[in-house]
Amino acid sequence: MIRSVSAVMMGAALSVAAGGVASAQVVPQPGPVQLHAMASTPALNLSAHGEVRVAPDMATINFGVVTEAATAAEAMRANAARMTEVAQALRRAGIAERDIQTSGLNLSPQYDYVENQSPRLRGYQASNRVTVRILDLDRVGTTADAVMSAGVNQIDGISFGLVDPKTAEDRARVEAVRALQSKAALYSQALGVQLGAVRSLTEGGGYSPPPPMPIYAMRVQAASADASTPVAAGELAVRIDITGVYDIGG
């Protein structure tokens, strides 16, 4: 009797264990993952530019005074004396102090080189470079003559620019947008689609001063009191580049 009770209890334990295994196996499996791809909205990506040409209203002259002497002190003294004369000439030419800026001051030893011999110190060279802004373009030629007569022996060139380029840039922006709109309308018509709103607009370019133009023939002495070096200002091109993205529909 005791043996049968034990057998019954063991059978119940096995039944419970078996039931636990059976219940653990009944696990619902996840269904297939569904991915929904979103179709991109058709668009036109176009570029255009606007350009206006304007007369400059300022000029910049870059020049220098170079002197040499046996010692560094002598070279610097000679350079300072000549630059003093140049500064006085600029004031007589009507150039304001705020429009005169020192752009470089250098002192370097000068050597003579002979084959199979050690370099021999010849002396020292002092260089003082100045940038002058001229707001009256009628004075460009006379100013160049004045500094040459006062002792300037190096002129890098003359560059023309704009004191405030914003007005010219804004005109170029309007021209660029008009060109972009015209191009977008043409493309949409050719594609047979409806032109939508502008999705994005980016800008590049803008005003940048042109590099100095070299002066190939500078007069050291004027032939007459009213003669001056001829200088032509010409025109400047101000360009704005833009890129726009337009929505289009069927």
d(CA 138, CA 229): 11
Same-domain pairing of 88 and 174: no
d(CA 186, CA 228): 53
pLDDT at 215: 57
Burial class (CB within 10 angstroms; exposed 0-12, middle 13-18, buried 19+) of 134 = buried
Residue 151 belongs to domain spanning: 58-161
Vertex 93 angle, CA 102 and 155, to 5°? 45
- The per-residue pLDDT for range 75-110, each reduced to its tens digit, is 999 999 999 999 999 999 999 999 999 989 999 999
- Average of pLDDT values for 200-215? 79
- Average of pLDDT values for 5-16? 40
Same-domain pairing of 110 and 51: no
pLDDT at 30: 54
Query: Of 161, 185, 203, which one is at a domain's C-terminal end?
Result: 161
Q: Do residues 64 and 104 lie in contact, with contact meaning Cβ atoms separated by under 8 Å?
A: yes
Same-domain pairing of 212 and 149: no
* Residue with the larger pLDDT of the pair 18 and 43: 43
Residue 139 falls within a domain, yes or no? yes
Query: Of 138, 161, 184, which one is at a domain's C-terminal end?
Result: 161
- Band of the pLDDT at 228, cuts 50, 70, 90? low
d(CA 133, CA 100): 7
Vertex 206 angle, CA 202 and 211, to 5°? 150
Q: Does pLDDT of 248 surpass 70?
A: yes
Same-domain pairing of 156 and 170: no
Same-domain pairing of 47 and 168: yes
Domain count, the chain: 2
Query: Of 111, 128, 161, which one is at a domain's C-terminal end?
Result: 161
CATH number for the domain harbouring residue 81: 3.30.70.2970
Residue 29 falls within a domain, yes or no? no
95-104, 157-166, 205-214: least confidently modelled range: 205-214
pLDDT at 87: 93
34-48, 114-128, 133-147, 210-224: least confidently modelled range: 210-224
